[in-house]
A = this chain, B = another copy of it.
Amino acid sequence: MKVLTKELWFNTPTRRAFVNITPQVEELVEQSGVQEGLCLVNAMHITASVFINDAESGLHRDMDKWLEKLAPHDPVSQYEHNNGEDNADAHLKRSVMGREVVVAITAGKLHFGPWEQIFYGEFDGRRRKRVLVKIIGE
């Protein structure tokens, strides 16, 4: 079995952001030498997400607006968690978008459909946070 483990670091300048991390993950798959296997990519923080969707900026603005409607940031006092914190909404937004993706590796490449791209979804940024990439296979 071949294994590759790598933590990627992010520090988004805004509270919320979507960062396309597909090129970094593709490079790690190549480094791993795995031809057939699985690639786990997960947020290591509970106010962030890793998800797969379209690399289209209009859609990202739609998602941001939609998540804000489902789990509003303000008023921060509506959440019990916001007792010295102001990020309860970030925990909820991440619950909608998911913590992780598992992507198949076939013939040495991420086995993707036509528009699949991997995103880091930040909901409480402006500080250093991590994503884990774990690749196993042969």
Interchain CA distance A102-B39 in the complex, whole Å:
11
Annotate A23-51 by CB proximity to B: 1 below 8 A, 0 otherwise: 00000000000001110101111100001
| A residues with CB within 8 A of B | 1, 3, 5, 36-38, 40, 42-46, 51-54, 56, 58-59, 61-63, 66, 70-71, 79-81, 83, 88, 91-92, 94-104, 106, 111-116, 130, 132, 134, 136-138
Question: Can you identify 23 A-B contacts, CB atoms within 8 angstroms?
Answer: A1-B1, A1-B137, A3-B36, A38-B136, A43-B113, A44-B116, A45-B114, A45-B115, A51-B95, A54-B91, A58-B81, A58-B83, A59-B79, A59-B80, A59-B88, A59-B91, A62-B79, A62-B80, A62-B81, A66-B92, A95-B96, A104-B134, A106-B134
